[in-house]
Every structure is written in C-alpha cells, then in structure tokens.
Amino acid sequence: AAKAVAEAVRTTLGPKGMDKMLVDSLGDVTITNDGATILDTIDVEHPAAKMIVEVAKTQDDKVGDGTTTSVIISGELLNLAEELMEQSVHPTIIFRGYRKALLKSKEILQELATKIDINDTETLMKVAETSMNSKLIAGVKNHFADIAVKAVSQIKEERGNKTIIDLDQIQIIKKEGKSLLNTDLIDGIIIDKEVVHPMMPKSAKNAKIALISSSLEVEKTEFDAEIKIMLSSPIFFSSTFPALPKSFSLISKIL
C-alpha cells in the first residue's frame, strides 16, 4: 500500500512531470502536480500508507516544497527494505543501516548547504522562484516570488541572534475573476466580510476602530414573574378560578 501511494505521485516529479486530475465525492475537480495536495485527497486506510502521507504533510508544513520527492524516496526505501527482508536480513539490521545512512546524509547536506543573509533579497527571490518552477504559476513566478519575499520580510522579528518568522501572520485571500498578475500584497489587515447593510459606506479614511472581545447582539429580555392571589375566603376561589386561565392568556400576550 505504501509503495502504491509513492507510485501515485511518481509521474508528477521533474520538469516533465504530469498533472493529476482529482475528483472528490462532491464532483469538485482539482488539477495539480503537488504531492501534498494529491495525497491529502486520497483516502488512505493502511498504516504504512498513512505513514507515507504523514511524511508528505510534515514536509509541506516544515519546508513547503519537496513533498513528491520525500514520498518517492520513502517508498523506494520501503521497497529496498522489503527486498532485504526477502533475503532473510533481520529488520533490526535494516533499521541500523538506514539510521547510519540518515546521519551520513545529514552530514553531506550540511556540507552542501549555503548560508544566506535574511536581508539578501536577490537570493531570497531565487529561492522562491525555484520552488515555483514546478507549479502552475511558473509563468508568473517573478511576480509571486516578489510578493512572497516582501510578505515574509514584513513579519520577521529579530530576537537576540535569531530571526523569528511566524507564517501564520500571513493571510491568503482567494478571489475569482482576475488574472494571476492582479495578485497584490496588502500592507495591513483584510476583513473578508460582506457589509451588514447596502447603505453602509464602502470606504472610510482615518476611521476609528473598536476591538471588542465579545459578541455584539441584542438579547431578548426574559421575564420571570410569579402571580400570587390571596383570597380571604374559599368561597371566592370557586367563583374566581374559571376566569384565571383566560386572564393568564391575556397577560402572556401583553408580555
């Protein structure tokens, strides 16, 4: 099952990778070659296959790219492990070998890595453009790379010797009807809500904004009334009681 998941995204890898057409249960169609998007749509039940899907999700959350590559490598590692087990190699030995390979790979990656300056806009643009080469927006990657770099630069915080970037501070609002080049970076806050009334103003300059931590609503007044009738004699009760239900009905309508 895990190898089948890897095979599902294998043909999307590389400059000649193919797009996949995904149709969900509601009939909505999605065309993509992004591994994370494809795997997120697939309903997986097998534990090993779920592990592969989690690899893709983790890669997408931490890095934002390379999901297809990570899934294909994971599937190939499982395939090779299966071949070793068929040769009577104990799983513990296979695990130790993979562990050593992991440590060696990290050493090589550290040697190949290039340290960049967070303020080096040109290098950051190249990094952003590279991740967009395999996406549908590759034709306008310069425009989106510029937006991405500016957005990240606006939210970065210097804390001692560290630069903290919280990507949750960046909100992406999707609107239909215009081209990709009409995508803009708004330096501020977007409240994606319709106006309460059509007569409300659509624009306000130097407006005062109230931040309220509770909801605004008109609460219905609740009446908790109790009626007591004091009679001086039981004789009056028998004559008065038949009219009480009608009186209560009239009072409830008034309230």
pLDDT, tens only, 216-225:
776 776 666 6
Residues of the chain with CATH 1.10.560.10: 1-113
Distance of alpha carbon 130 from alpha carbon 124, whole angstroms: 10
pLDDT, tens only, 6-35:
777 888 887 777 888 888 777 778 787 777
Kindly report the average pLDDT of the chain as a whole number: 81
pLDDT, tens only, 43-58:
777 787 888 888 888 8
Distance of alpha carbon 47 from alpha carbon 53, whole angstroms: 10
* Beta carbons within 10 angstroms of residue 124's beta carbon: 20
What confidence score (pLDDT) does residue 96 get? 94
What confidence score (pLDDT) does residue 92 get? 93
DSSP, res 241: G
What confidence score (pLDDT) does residue 93 get? 94
pLDDT, tens only, 133-186:
767 788 898 999 999 999 988 888 888 888 888 888 888 888 888 888 889 998
What confidence score (pLDDT) does residue 48 get? 78
Averaging pLDDT over each range in 89-103, 119-133, 214-228, which range is the top one?
A: 89-103
Site of tokens 């590559």: 69
Which class is 1-113 in CATH? Answer: mainly alpha
For residue 94, pLDDT over 90 is answered with: yes
Q: Please indicate, yes or no, whether the overall pTM of this predicted structure exceeds 0.85.
A: no
| Lowest-confidence segment of 36-40, 133-137, 247-251 by average pLDDT | 247-251
**Contact between 11 and 18 (Cβ < 8 Å):** yes
How does DSSP assign 106-172, residue by residue?
HHHHHHH-----TT-HHHHHHHHHHHHTTSTTGGGHHHHHHHHHHHHHHH-EEETTEEE--GGG---
Spatial neighbors of 29 by CB under 8 A, at least 6 apart, are 21, 22, 23
Q: Mean pLDDT across the stretch 218-247? A: 61
Percent over 70 (pLDDT), the chain: 85
**Contact between 94 and 81 (Cβ < 8 Å):** yes
Percent over 90 (pLDDT), the chain: 16
